[in-house]
Structure 1
Amino acid sequence: MSQTRKKNSSEGETKSQISPVNRFLQGCKAERGEENNDLGSDGSHPNHGALSTATQDAAKPPSSEEELESRMEESEQFLQKLDRKADSKRLDLDSCRVTRVDIREMVTLLPFLPDLEELDVSWNDSIGGNLHLITQQVHLVHKLKTLRLGSCRLTTEDVQALGEVLAMTPELEELNLSWNNNVGGNLPLIFQKLQNGTKVQTLELVDCALTSEDGAFVGQLLPVLQSLEVLDLSMNRQVGCSLNRIALGLKCTSNLKVLKLQSCGLSPKSIKILDAAFRYLGELRKLDLSCNKKLGGGFEGSSGQLALLKHLRGLDLHQCSLTAGDVAALTQLIPLLSSLQEVDLSANRNVGGASENLLARLRFLPALRSLLISGCALEGPALAALADASIHLPALEIFNLSWNKCVGGSVQLLLEMLRLSAGLQVLRLSSCSLVTKDMAILVSVMQTGHLARLQTLDLSYNDSICDEGWAVFCRNMQFLKELTELDISLRPTNFRDCGPWVRHLLCAVTKLPEITEISMERWILPASQRAALGSCDQGHTRRVHFDHSGFQ
């Protein structure tokens, strides 16, 4: 995808000689030890010389075309060993289980990657304690824009080394240090040398064991990050203790587009604190406050500054213990956010009885693509209000009503929505107490082609559907031409014999060109039918995976 720049010709070089250089810049992604193997064996053989000497030798340009081609081959071998492809602008070693030797081989590569823009070594435990090997050479990669070090078991020494290198990467735009516990308590060591004018746009510090002092430092750091667009502090429970300082810093980040504070120990008071910052975040596109279980009641006394986020497209409040008062406040606020495309209110059980007015006002969100309200204990009137509003949501693509028992026997209410949502791709009705009548209604919509774009259908944990219901559904599955995933599993405590309808299921699979995953856990089949499932494929080019744990 990326295009390589042509390397300047050396004096007296012909066009035929330039070709391998171009191939080197395009294909060289990981060089393995070069012609001299000093660096690759330095750790175990001290007599091979210091790291700095080896890397200096490695950084020398190739002296001949033969040497260059040799390096190209070694680079390809290194990447093949790690099951990666060459790219002159991107070095992706995410989850490669790299060893210390691999790291040293990669270090010898960096001087020969002048166009490298992205370096990702996330989810490699061996990076921890060895990051200095990389940082010593990063200054040679002048165009580096993205550095991802997620879940690398960074040590305090690594954090210190990282702080030094950030001052030498002026083009850096994205930094991901997530899932490194030693970042917590050491945040100033990383960022204290950053200067005004830094180009960092994305900063991800998920689950880094940040302390309240780290949170306060973030508040001081934000005014320096004038270009910041994405800030993710999720899963740092002490962040809530320093939210006042962070909110002060947020007032200086007018370009911020994504703010994620999932599971950060936020309280009702936190909403009032954030309210004061919202007026300065006019460009915000996504706000994630989910999994803050003590947040309930926060919206009741807010000043409503959330309504100023006119460009907000995603609002995630799932598992926030929202109260009836919160729902009343959101009923006034959400209709004013006409740009909303994604709303998640799931796992807020107190929403159920108070949500009728809120759900009715979703009709004022014409751009809504994703609506997740699973596990909200909805009641009949709320479902009816949702059904009325949903016919005004032509852009809806993802709809999750799972774990709302009131849906059972009432799918008729959703009939118009299912007919009008021509672009619906994901429909989840897990544990909704569906009955056979509901399946007949769903099938009637399928037969008319209104669910033709559906890709994921979750009907699991609806054990009250009888064999007749499953049979009528399976006989009509072929109308779901784009279906890729289907889940019809039973509840964990329930095992049940499959009826004759399983034959219709197998027949339907042969007519669905995209299906790859069918989960039907705890359905009991005789050995002959299990064998049929195991051998089911489509023209010998695509196998369908049946998740049938519980058959035996």
Structure 2
Amino acid sequence: MSQTGNKSSSDGETKPQTLFVNKCIRRSKFRSPKAENRKESNDLKTTAFRPSDETPKPNMMTKTITSEMELRPRMEEKLFPPKLGKNPVDKCLDLNNCRLTTADVREPVALLPSLPDLEELDISWNDFIGRTLHLLMQQMHLVSKLKILRLGRCRLTADDVQAQGEALKALPELELNLSWNSKVGGNLPLILRTFREGSKIQMPELVDYALTSEDGAFVGQLLLRLQNLEVLDLSINRNIGGSLNSIAQGLKSTLTLKVLKLHSCGLSQKSVKLLDAAFRYLCELKTLDLSCNKEVSGGFEDSPGLAVLEHLEGLDLHQCSLMADDTMWLSSSPGIPFLSSFQELDLSANRKTGSSSEKLLSRLFLPALKPLLINNCALESETFTALAEACVHLPALEIVNLSWNKCVGSNLKLLLETLKLSASLQVLRLSSCSLVTEDVALLASVIQTGHLARLRKLDLSYNDSICDAEWTIFCQNLWLLKELTELDISLQPSAFQERGQWFRHLLCAVTKLPEITEIGMKRWVLPASQEEELEGFDQDHKSSIHFDHGGFQEADFSSLN
């Protein structure tokens, strides 16, 4: 970082490199978490599934700085060691989501000679550096120890892709992430042709490249050289389904593969058969994601796939239009219930399985299962009863999502024992479940007895039939959820109700919840007196809690009657 210095030019203006430093300082507060999935099982890794990228609160820096010379060293000390570093042994240069412009690219390029030990370079999510990658690639020989290069969502052009392919001849073992760059499609061989047989590459990231069928065929050939591959993610490349035969053949040589993700790849019933033939070679596979491929519906019938994936820990089949025969395959021996190490299951948004999944859900005796995601599956009463009875055998549950299954309403009592026994439960989602007053009363009693002490996220939104008295009882016990970070009790878009006396109990509970940051209350109409009360609460507690009420609304119920 000494290269950025605290010097000024002779005319009094800061040198360009310092301007670049200051720009990244100013924009670092817009930094967002790095992308990964956004599926419900990532809910815990928000707490548990996603890395945090918090920025300092505004009140951390209240002292007025009267000169840029005073501000710069302070900012460099606090913000730039993890990005640029201050000494030549730093190994990471992180400029992710800094809103770099074409002119700014010259600045990290100028820093490379001072970072000979650099191992990781991240310039992702800078939309305006396309067409300038050649400037960086020309200097790649200066960082011969580089192991990871991330350039996701940078609007790279075909010329950028070609420049990178030429530069990688000197770094054939580099881990690449060019995800969310659609111009890569059709040009993939220009980048990856340098990978040698027996390469140590473990995780090439190829998400949302707009890969063509020809690119898919090239990937199949490439897999034959990557025998140390552990993660293959081809998600959101909708045109590679037609080349899956080549990819499946290549997978047979990746004996060390642990994660295979083909989310939204245009797979078909035939694709399932092709993958089945490859699965028997993937004895180390732990995670399989085939989600958002609606054309695979019916393709799992008579499939032996899971029989050979004995180490499988996670399966994602959400939004696959699964049929009755598919769920029979999942439950038959040796299916999901017979995988002793199984930990994650996502069957959400498969509405055709509602009446046919009873056998599967009744056999979920999986002691290591953590997320159970069956939201929006049109479950019927018998199916939900079978699930409730099986859930008592799922002691490790951390996430339960039953949202948009109307049969849960009036039947939450069936899950009573599960709610009592699931000591590790952290996320409970019951949105739009037609919950009634008795359901909320039951939930309040479970909270009162301390059985949901680790709960971090609770979603009761879009349940509009709860009376004011039960909301009051619920809010009176809410303070017992000491680890709660998010609560959503919003109403449906078509419903508006006046907040009752329970609102004061909610505010009182919030003062005793040290972790709470988000409370969803959309379409609860806020009378003027309660608007003032909420504003006073914010001022008195200097709260960092976001009350998402969709904006204050006057309580005019003449139009609602």
- Per the shorter chain, which TM-score range? 0.7 to 0.9
Q: TM-score, normalised by structure 1?
A: 0.85
Correspondence for 1:297: 298
Q: How far is 1:512 from its partner?
A: 0.9
Which residue type is aligned with residue 465 of structure 1? Answer: I
CA contact (8 A) 2:172 2:194 kept: no
Which residue type is aligned with residue 318 of structure 2? Answer: H
C-alpha distance in structure 2 between counterparts of 1:32 and 1:361, whole Å: 66
Q: How far is 1:539 from its partner?
A: 7.9
1:400 partnered with 2:401: yes
C-alpha distance in structure 1 between counterparts of 2:361 and 2:439, whole Å: 22
Distance 1:31 1:142, change over 3 A: farther
C-alpha distance in structure 2 between counterparts of 1:112 and 1:79, whole Å: 18
* Greater Cα shift, 383-392 or 429-438: 383-392
Q: SS at the partner of 1:427?
A: strand
Correspondence for 1:161: 163
Deviations 1:150-194 (A, max 9, x none): 11111111001111122212442x311111111100011111122
C-alpha distance in structure 1 between counterparts of 2:369 and 2:420, whole Å: 17
C-alpha distance in structure 1 between counterparts of 2:218 and 2:83, whole Å: 39
Q: SS at the partner of 1:270?
A: helix
1:476 partnered with 2:477: yes
C-alpha distance in structure 2 between counterparts of 1:373 and 1:319, whole Å: 11
Measured on the aligned residues, the alpha-carbon RMSD in Å equals 2.5
Which residue type is aligned with residue 161 of structure 2? Answer: V
C-alpha distance in structure 2 between counterparts of 1:92 and 1:171, whole Å: 20
Correspondence for 1:151: 153
Q: How far is 1:97 from its partner?
A: 0.5
Query: In the alignment, which of 358, 361, 364 is matched to residue 360 of structure 2?
Result: 358
Correspondence for 2:64: none
1:321 partnered with 2:321: yes
Deviations 1:243-277 (A, max 9, x none): 00000000111111111111111111111110011
Q: How far is 1:233 from its partner?
A: 0.8
Q: How far is 1:323 from its partner?
A: 0.2
C-alpha distance in structure 2 between counterparts of 1:34 and 1:268, whole Å: 65
Distance 1:260 1:192, change over 3 A: same
Q: How far is 1:541 from its partner?
A: 6.2
Q: SS at the partner of 1:241?
A: helix
Correspondence for 2:46: none
Distance 1:292 1:76, change over 3 A: farther
Q: SS at the partner of 1:203?
A: coil
CA contact (8 A) 1:32 1:109 kept: no
Query: What number of residue pairs does the alignment pair up?
Result: 491
Q: How far is 1:517 from its partner?
A: 0.5
CA contact (8 A) 1:383 1:407 kept: yes
Which residue type is aligned with residue 95 of structure 1? Answer: N
Matches within 5 A, 1:446-457: 446-457=447-458
Query: In the alignment, which of 120, 124, 131 is matched to residue 122 of structure 1?
Result: 124
Which 5+ residue runs of structure 2 have no aligned equivalent? 18-70, 554-561
CA contact (8 A) 1:150 1:177 kept: yes
Correspondence for 1:445: 446
Distance 1:536 1:510, change over 3 A: same
1:270 partnered with 2:271: yes
Q: How far is 1:550 from its partner?
A: 5.0
Distance 1:547 1:149, change over 3 A: same
Q: SS at the partner of 2:296?
A: coil
CA contact (8 A) 2:173 2:195 kept: no
Percent of residue pairs identical: 65
Q: How far is 1:305 from its partner?
A: 2.3
C-alpha distance in structure 2 between counterparts of 1:290 and 1:192, whole Å: 29
CA contact (8 A) 1:184 1:214 kept: yes
CA contact (8 A) 1:79 1:86 kept: no
Correspondence for 1:380: 381
CA contact (8 A) 2:102 2:130 kept: no
Q: TM-score, normalised by structure 2?
A: 0.83
Correspondence for 1:412: 413
C-alpha distance in structure 1 between counterparts of 2:336 and 2:134, whole Å: 48
C-alpha distance in structure 1 between counterparts of 2:185 and 2:7, whole Å: 35
Which 5+ residue runs of structure 1 have no aligned equivalent? 1-26, 42-72
C-alpha distance in structure 2 between counterparts of 1:134 and 1:79, whole Å: 26
Distance 1:233 1:393, change over 3 A: same
CA contact (8 A) 1:443 1:473 kept: yes
Q: How far is 1:454 from its partner?
A: 0.1
* Greater Cα shift, 271-280 or 462-471: 462-471
CA contact (8 A) 1:30 1:76 kept: no
C-alpha distance in structure 2 between counterparts of 1:30 and 1:176, whole Å: 27
C-alpha distance in structure 2 between counterparts of 1:105 and 1:77, whole Å: 18
Correspondence for 1:526: 527
Q: SS at the partner of 1:310?
A: coil
Distance 1:512 1:77, change over 3 A: closer
CA contact (8 A) 1:91 1:116 kept: yes
Q: How far is 1:313 from its partner?
A: 1.6
CA contact (8 A) 2:83 2:95 kept: no
Larger radius of gyration: 1
Q: How far is 1:40 from its partner?
A: 6.2
Correspondence for 2:339: 337
Matches within 5 A, 1:30-45: none
